């Protein structure tokens, strides 16, 4: 999940650099064409540059949205993991304090627990810590 977001972010950065190159190239071509022909061309490069600036602004906003989505995904995953771990700890505590025997986990439950722990450790290893949200934000 995070590697896909990182790839998408890298693609946005590359496209932003490409847009800057195109903008500079268009300005240079416009300067060269006006000095050679001494007349206005059919296509207005200034208008094209304005459209290009609008595209760059949209690109920047999309890039920031991707970062916000990544942070929200990490927060959600941490919240879910913490709640499941708390529930499992409570179940184990209840099992130890009472004499009730609970059947061992099924194969699918064991697989889920393994996936959950691997995703949790992978998430913590790959992303920097975000500031904790207040408990009222989580509702």
| Token code pair at residue 112 | 């889920």
Q: Which pLDDT does position 43 carry in this prediction? A: 61
Residues in the chain predicted with pLDDT less than 50, given as ranges, are 41, 128-139
Distance CA 26, CA 43 (A): 12
Q: Which pLDDT does position 128 carry in this prediction? A: 47
Distance CA 6, CA 70 (A): 9
Using DSSP's 3-state secondary structure scheme, residue 51 falls into helix
How many alpha carbons fall within 13 Å on the CB side of residue 56?
A: 15
Q: Which pLDDT does position 37 carry in this prediction? A: 63
Q: Which pLDDT does position 133 carry in this prediction? A: 38
Domain boundaries, the chain: 2-137
Q: Which pLDDT does position 34 carry in this prediction? A: 67
| Burial letters 94-117, b for 16+ CB under 10 A, else e | eeeeeeeeeeeeeeeeeeeeeebe
Q: Which pLDDT does position 83 carry in this prediction? A: 92
In sequence order, the 6+-apart residues with CB closer than 8 A to the CB of 83 are none
């Amino acid at each position: 999940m995070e590697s896909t977001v990182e790839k998408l972010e890298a693609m946005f950065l590359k496209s932003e650099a490409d847009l800057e190159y195109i903008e500079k190239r268009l300005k240079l071509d416009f300067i060269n064409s006006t000095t050679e022909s001494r007349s206005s061309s059919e296509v207005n490069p200034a208008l094209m540059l304005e459209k290009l600036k609008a595209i760059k602004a949209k690109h920047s906003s999309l890039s920031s949205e991707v970062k916000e989505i990544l942070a929200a995904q990490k927060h959600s995953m941490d919240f879910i993991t913490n709640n499941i771990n708390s529930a499992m700890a409570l179940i184990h505590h209840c099992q130890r304090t009472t004499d009730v025997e609970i059947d061992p986990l099924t194969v699918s439950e064991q697989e889920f627990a393994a996936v959950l722990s691997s995703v949790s450790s992978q998430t913590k290893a790959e992303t920097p810590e975000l500031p904790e949200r207040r408990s009222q934000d989580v509702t």
